[in-house]
Structure 1
């Protein structure tokens, strides 16, 4: 009679990721600490970390972030990685004490012990393909540069409101090419005083202005605005204006070439056609959706799991007879922003989306809430197309076809009433 071997006790690891070094803890099946150590953030340190974890028999590791060299090293060693976000880790500290102190060595222990105790509730990290990871870097880099451009434009506008208010609202966009050209030529209120309607018209022609607004209207804006602060410090104000303008020029020059690169990455991606088929998705918006959702299907086994991580599904709280449905704060903000950006614009091209949005507004929701309601509905459609690897087909979208038939019936009824 053979006797089954007694399985070896499970051993778990936790890594508190940092910029310069990382704290690591190893616990056994009873939660007792077997090892604690720190490694430097370099190739030798990461090799030492993996070697020591494997020597201890660790097979599963908890960590706070899903990417970076540390995760790559753990993945290459074929260790199962569980991501426990910083917000969740902060709440988990209260299990082990009420002081709430932040300590890297203690956090590493908490990460390891949570993998031990909550293993059944955690989902192993599923990595996206290299193409998706590269696309995500490109999309987020462009997004960060656009955010930086908005910040600098706001700083320039605030500066002009004091020294040259007329220039702050002269053109529709303060960071447009014609607006920057104007500020490079007329940096102060005193220099703009030289302008007349005729001179302004001549300058606009030299700047190749589109001509959407006539020179007379632009000149009226210049003369009708309050005068800025003038005096001996004009050269200083002009230097500040030019500093902001130069910064905007530089940022714009870096943003511009990223769009075609992102479009090229999207074109080569196997899932590119799925996201470009969505209404008003374009190239950059479609790439952003793909980059944030990823291509690891196992990460989102249901549409609800995608909606919850994106924060477009509300959070329900109930205590006794009190039940509250509130905004979901715990979410992937990059994913939520990408979905809501798409959903908010889709209503301009998709009657079903427009109808959902209008019905949400009619119920008293403000614009952001109505967009989240629409994004939640789009998640079901996007998830199905993404799982099946097929582009969005409006003719196969039952809810859209129902809205279109209702609209057609309304038009027909109105025509009959008019004829009667």
Structure 2
């Protein structure tokens, strides 16, 4: 790469507590090296310092986060060099390939200096997409938190009320929460009679999927949990605390989902992602849209999108050696969004179902078969995304060939 005198390049080794920063000139000599704590207040100072130095660009190992957003807001050129790429490049700078924060910061800056023409800079999505991404990710984190809370509730009930597990559809359903709020332990449910139990279910408008007599028999015939009254009282406090937290989390999930749907409907690219089978006008379509983004130049071809999403394998060929392996260096949030969509799409699209079935028939396991399907969907999604058009099965060659056959 040709360079000009006076150009500077920055590398930042991102960490949880501190960031190591290194700035090199166009000859690779270190001009500045320092560390900053990981707080939003220091980001402003770092951006001002790098802007004052007039650096050519900044190389970092991750593509999102407040630090990256601060650089992009300031108009700095930001390129991403993934952790696996950094690991492979260490032997270029040290014989042992050992890791150090300062060494990685220098490596990032120097690779930007020598190979910057090979690296695509990050581009900010529109404000609408950034907000939608934040909402979608926050809701997903709440869902994960709720699952963890339900697991804790399950563990408590195994000790104090095993008969309540599986009594209704889910432990976080409305009917289960209402029942456990009234009878948090087996000791409390021991006072139940068939008439009182039936009256309680009518009060909470139980759907009647299972007969009341069957449900009551499961509670009455369950073996004793063997808890003393004191321990049962303490366990009840734990169960009620978990129930309150689960209810709060569920409420916030619903609020976020309503906000996501409202903002999705107003987004310029909504028609593309809501037209995909099983994506719908909800959270799944919003997650796909927000993780892919709306900057078309970021993915100039379908291969670049498949690679970042981790649904395209890594092929290594050297002489007689030819291996195909799992792509570890990927945007995991984007991959999860595509995998979730692809897995469910086979329930609505015969074309998707056939691709999945063919992969299983070739001996692929379920996760691998879904990745193959996700890779096939990337071709379709990328084309619709680039053309700003909704998905139409009648214009989808693969789907029409299957229908004709």
Q: Give the TM-score taking structure 2 as reference length.
A: 0.92
Aligned CA-pair RMSD? 2.3
Q: Is the 8 A contact 2:22 2:109 kept in 1?
A: yes
Shift of 1:294: 0.6
Aligned to 1:312: 311
**Whole-Å separation in 1 of the counterparts to 2:318 and 2:179:** 60
Q: Is the 8 A contact 1:279 1:350 kept in 2?
A: yes
Q: Is the 8 A contact 1:166 1:227 kept in 2?
A: no
Encode CA deviations 1:113-134: one digit per residue, 9 max, x unaligned. Answer: 1111222331111211111111
SS at match of 1:316: strand
Shift of 1:353: 1.0
Shift of 1:22: 3.8
Q: Is the 8 A contact 2:58 2:76 kept in 1?
A: yes
Of 336-345 and 7-16, more deviation after overlay is shown by 7-16
Q: Is the 8 A contact 1:167 1:222 kept in 2?
A: yes
Of 256-265 and 397-406, more deviation after overlay is shown by 397-406
Aligned to 1:259: 257
Shift of 1:33: 0.5
**Whole-Å separation in 1 of the counterparts to 2:38 and 2:327:** 34
1:177-256 to structure 2, matched below 5 A, reads: 177-232=174-229, 233-256=231-254
SS at match of 2:378: helix
Which of these residues, 126, 133, 136, is aligned with residue 136 of structure 1? Answer: 133
1:111 equivalenced with 2:108 (yes/no): yes
Unaligned stretches of 5+ in structure 1?
1-5, 407-420
**Whole-Å separation in 2 of the counterparts to 1:42 and 1:150:** 30
Encode CA deviations 1:273-324: one digit per residue, 9 max, x unaligned. Answer: 1000111112110000001111111111111111111111122234553433
SS at match of 2:55: coil
1:37 equivalenced with 2:39 (yes/no): no
**Whole-Å separation in 2 of the counterparts to 1:343 and 1:237:** 42
Aligned to 2:269: 271
The change in CA–CA distance for 1:79 and 1:173 in structure 2 (over 3 A counts) is: same
Q: Is the 8 A contact 2:311 2:335 kept in 1?
A: yes
Q: Is the 8 A contact 2:311 2:327 kept in 1?
A: yes
Aligned to 1:390: 389
Aligned to 1:418: none
The change in CA–CA distance for 1:263 and 1:111 in structure 2 (over 3 A counts) is: same
Q: Is the 8 A contact 1:385 1:392 kept in 2?
A: yes
Q: Is the 8 A contact 1:189 1:230 kept in 2?
A: no
**Whole-Å separation in 2 of the counterparts to 1:394 and 1:377:** 14
**Whole-Å separation in 2 of the counterparts to 1:40 and 1:352:** 51
SS at match of 1:308: helix
Unaligned stretches of 5+ in structure 2?
none
1:14-93 to structure 2, matched below 5 A, reads: 14-18=11-15, 22-39=19-36, 45-93=42-90
Aligned to 2:342: 343
1:151-166 to structure 2, matched below 5 A, reads: 151-166=148-163
Aligned to 2:368: 369
The change in CA–CA distance for 1:236 and 1:46 in structure 2 (over 3 A counts) is: closer
Q: Is the 8 A contact 2:4 2:26 kept in 1?
A: no
Aligned residue pairs total 401
The change in CA–CA distance for 1:327 and 1:76 in structure 2 (over 3 A counts) is: closer
Aligned to 1:148: 145
**Whole-Å separation in 1 of the counterparts to 2:258 and 2:305:** 28
Q: Is the 8 A contact 2:59 2:81 kept in 1?
A: yes
Encode CA deviations 1:365-404: one digit per residue, 9 max, x unaligned. Answer: 2222221111111111000000000000111112111222
Encode CA deviations 1:214-255: one digit per residue, 9 max, x unaligned. Answer: 212222332454432321311111111112111111111111
SS at match of 2:121: coil
**Whole-Å separation in 1 of the counterparts to 2:50 and 2:99:** 24
Q: Is the 8 A contact 1:347 1:357 kept in 2?
A: yes
The change in CA–CA distance for 1:330 and 1:42 in structure 2 (over 3 A counts) is: closer
Shift of 1:67: 3.5
**Whole-Å separation in 2 of the counterparts to 1:388 and 1:248:** 43
Shift of 1:77: 4.0
The change in CA–CA distance for 1:310 and 1:225 in structure 2 (over 3 A counts) is: farther
Shift of 1:34: 1.3
Aligned to 1:415: none
Q: Give the TM-score taking structure 1 as reference length.
A: 0.89
Whichever of the two has the greater Rg, that structure is 1
Aligned to 2:301: 302
1:326 equivalenced with 2:325 (yes/no): yes
